[in-house]
Amino acid sequence: MNILEAVLNAQGGAAAREAGRGLGLSPEQTGSAFGALIPALAAGLQRNASQPGGLEALVGALTRGQHSRYLDDPSNLATPDAVTDGNAILGHILGNKDTSRAVAAQASGQTGIDPALLKKLLPIAATMVMAAMAKKQLGGGMAAPMSTGTAGGGLLGMLSPLLDQNRDGSIMDDVLGKFLGRR
Instruction: Please determine, for residue 79, whether its predicted confidence score (pLDDT) is greater than 70.
Output: yes
For the chain, the structural domain boundaries read 3-179
Q: What would the pLDDT profile of 155-180 be if each residue is shown by its tens digit?
A: 555 665 454 455 554 444 444 344 33
Q: What would the pLDDT profile of 134-161 be if each residue is shown by its tens digit?
A: 888 766 443 333 344 433 445 555 665 4
Look up the pTM and report it.
Answer: 0.78
> Is 41:99 a contact under the CB 8 Å cutoff?
no
Q: What would the pLDDT profile of 17-71 be if each residue is shown by its tens digit?
A: 999 998 999 999 999 999 999 999 988 888 888 888 877 877 777 777 788 899 9
Mean pLDDT of 8-22: 92
Please enumerate in sequence order all residues whose Cβ is within 8 A of that of 18, keeping only pairs 6 or more positions apart, or say none: 74, 75, 77, 78
108 vs 104: CA distance, rounded Å: 6
Residue 136 confidence (pLDDT): 82
Q: Residue 2 — very low, low, confident or very high, per pLDDT cuts 50/70/90?
A: confident
Please enumerate in sequence order all residues whose Cβ is within 8 A of that of 105, keeping only pairs 6 or more positions apart, or say none: 115
Residue 100 burial by Cβ neighbours in a 10 Å radius (0-12, 13-18, 19+): buried
Residue 26 confidence (pLDDT): 94
Instruction: Please determine, for residue 92, whether its predicted confidence score (pLDDT) is greater than 70.
Output: yes
Question: Higher-confidence residue: 156 or 116?
Answer: 116
Q: Which of 159, 157, 175 is nearest to 103 (CA)?
A: 175
Residue 19 confidence (pLDDT): 93
